[in-house]
Structure 1
């Protein structure tokens, strides 16, 4: 456990190597759905799998946290661990946290990987988000649904989840993308109803060194079954320039 009192963070660390990866989960869940990706990356690198304040086994803060609050809490934990120039890998709301982290410390992370970034502007609202989440549940394997739902209900628990939703919806990730001065790849599962291809393309084009990729046969929690493909994207610096396509597909996990 690390971080300031009141915003404690649990960190599950494994592996060794020249690179350090930090995995930042989404709203309501925990580090558990990142375990396949963590194990894959840990073959050649150090991996810190984060549990945000109020999520998983981490204590609930006394006050509701904003997305920047979560970002500061993760930086505090990484500072305590002595993590040097970590590659930030965010999923869902974790993408918003990762972008805030890079905006706070422009050169502290060498690159950024955004998996399924949420808060698509035309659908910013609780009921539309709930509808998309329900649609995604029908497209995910039962194993990941069991992990996610048990995290929501028994570990994060509904009161903290519903306190966090307004913070997520009020944070507009696109406002921070232009300030991300490191390579960033924006990734979605091809079947993801929460994250349209146009949204990932727009975010990739906002970042000066942005690119996008899609994982075939996957939905929102793409890194659970396709850990090897997602790990390949994490390891490869994002491409950038005028050749960034808006809707390219790749099962191999290579950035495009």
Structure 2
């Protein structure tokens, strides 16, 4: 189905159908957007639509999410990374820029470590998981606070997905997410990486901890902040996020020549 410059299609991954949206315009290395836990790729579309003016964009629903066929069990992060590679294979995409949000960031990091030749660059928007979300009760409290900070416009987009995924599956997967070694994977990312944080995101570490991580990281990492955003930056602040990603892909962010929107600043480049 084709509508508004996007095509909706299905590919087969391990014998199951996977739903995705693909932009018809743009060129160059495709931008592949990776959604968070318990939710489909629908909330990533605002940013993908902005970026589709220049690049080919692909927004899949990972196996078991959204309109993709359900599995017998919930896939963990490593299995989801393998599924994403299979989706790239099915679309004949040899190399992509991966843009993850929340759980999509650990998935993107796992793909980059497993198959670095398949990842041109990696964008981590609100990278969840690891020590900043431990123990589980703390992580759940952060998640509840974020729900209160997100745009009300996200409710009709996200709620049907969460209900379909189920609270038990969501709890189990979120627990896995808190145990994922996000920091270690980030510090040793084998590809150039951009982290974009929301200034009002309760799932992110403190500013002092961010500074510490930046000092530990090598030159492969750039960090930007969208000051008024919470966790779902891709949905709430698509123009700001797209401008940061665009500047970084063009090399202007690292060179300090980027014209960024108000409320967006580079922490480290």
Superposition TM-score tier, normalisation by shorter sequence: 0.7 to 0.9
Structure 1 equivalent of residue 27 of structure 2: 17
Query: Would the alpha carbon gap of residues 73 and 165 (structure 1) be closer, same or farther in structure 2, given more than 3 Å must change?
Result: same
Structure 1 equivalent of residue 6 of structure 2: none
Structure 2 equivalent of residue 246 of structure 1: none
Q: Is 1:123 equivalent to 2:133 in the alignment?
A: yes
Q: Is 1:251 equivalent to 2:260 in the alignment?
A: no
1: distance between equivalents of 2:12 and 2:77? Answer: 16
Structure 2 equivalent of residue 230 of structure 1: 241
Conservation of the 8 A alpha-carbon contact between 2:150 and 2:232: yes
Higher strand share: 2
Q: Is 1:45 equivalent to 2:59 in the alignment?
A: no
1: distance between equivalents of 2:47 and 2:132? Answer: 31
Q: Is 1:218 equivalent to 2:229 in the alignment?
A: yes
Q: Is 1:177 equivalent to 2:161 in the alignment?
A: no
Deviation at 1:253, TM superposition (A): 6.5
Conservation of the 8 A alpha-carbon contact between 1:31 and 1:49: yes
1: distance between equivalents of 2:181 and 2:124? Answer: 14
SS class of match (1:113): strand
List gaps (5 residues or longer) in structure 1.
244-248
Deviation at 1:57, TM superposition (A): 1.4
SS class of match (1:65): coil
Query: Would the alpha carbon gap of residues 7 and 114 (structure 1) be closer, same or farther in structure 2, given more than 3 Å must change?
Result: farther
1: distance between equivalents of 2:262 and 2:161? Answer: 30
2: distance between equivalents of 1:69 and 1:12? Answer: 21
Conservation of the 8 A alpha-carbon contact between 1:65 and 1:167: no
Conservation of the 8 A alpha-carbon contact between 1:3 and 1:74: no
Structure 2 equivalent of residue 100 of structure 1: 110
1: distance between equivalents of 2:75 and 2:86? Answer: 15
Name the stretch that deviates more: 46-55 or 58-67.
58-67
Deviation at 1:117, TM superposition (A): 0.7
Structure 1 equivalent of residue 201 of structure 2: 192
